[in-house]
Copies of this chain bind each other. A is one copy, B any other.
Amino acid sequence: MPSQPSRELQHFANPHPGRDFLIHMDLPEFTCLCPLTGQPDFAHFLLDYIPDERCVELKALKVYLWSFRDEGGFHEAMTNRIADDLIRLLSPRYLRLLGRWYVRGGISTDVLVEHRAPGWDNAALLQQLGPASFTRHQPGY
């Protein structure tokens, strides 16, 4: 069953649009290129969202992440761009995307983007998420 990288994200209808609920997806397989050197960069993404009418389709999401394999992008810009694509697709009530980028120059960098639909709030449910899981880097250990 071969497939192709594709920038086309797909969705399915939220099965419980009447209730705010949380979906967490752990996306450890991401690589793109450094826009300065052309060398590979790697990241582990963590996505959390509260769907409104749409949920992101898992296989299309995998293929979408694949589509950045030959594309350059800075950590800060790339993380914002992926978040924007997901927000455009889903119009979610809430979305949080954390990119944990691998060590460069002895320094590890994480980028966290958050989005809330205008006029929507559910502070109680959002407390369930807890703080984002930033990298804990222990070199020499």
Contacts and interface: CB of A to CB of B under 8 A. Distances in A.
Interface of A: 1-4, 14-16, 19-29, 31, 36-40, 42-44, 48, 51, 55, 58-59, 61-62, 66, 69, 74, 76-77, 79-80, 96, 100-114, 116, 124-141
* Chain A interface mostly: mixed
Most chain-B Cβ atoms within 10 A of its Cβ — which of A19, A31, A127, A141? A141
A62 B104 CA distance: 10
Nearest to A125: B114
B58 A28 contact: no
Contacts of A133: 136
A135 to B, nearest CB: 6
Q: How many copies does the complex hold?
A: 10
B140 A106 contact: no
Given A3-B38, A138-B141, 10 more contacts: A15-B80, A19-B80, A21-B76, A22-B112, A23-B110, A24-B109, A28-B42, A42-B139, A103-B103, A131-B131
B109 A58 contact: yes
Contacts of A130: 130-132, 134
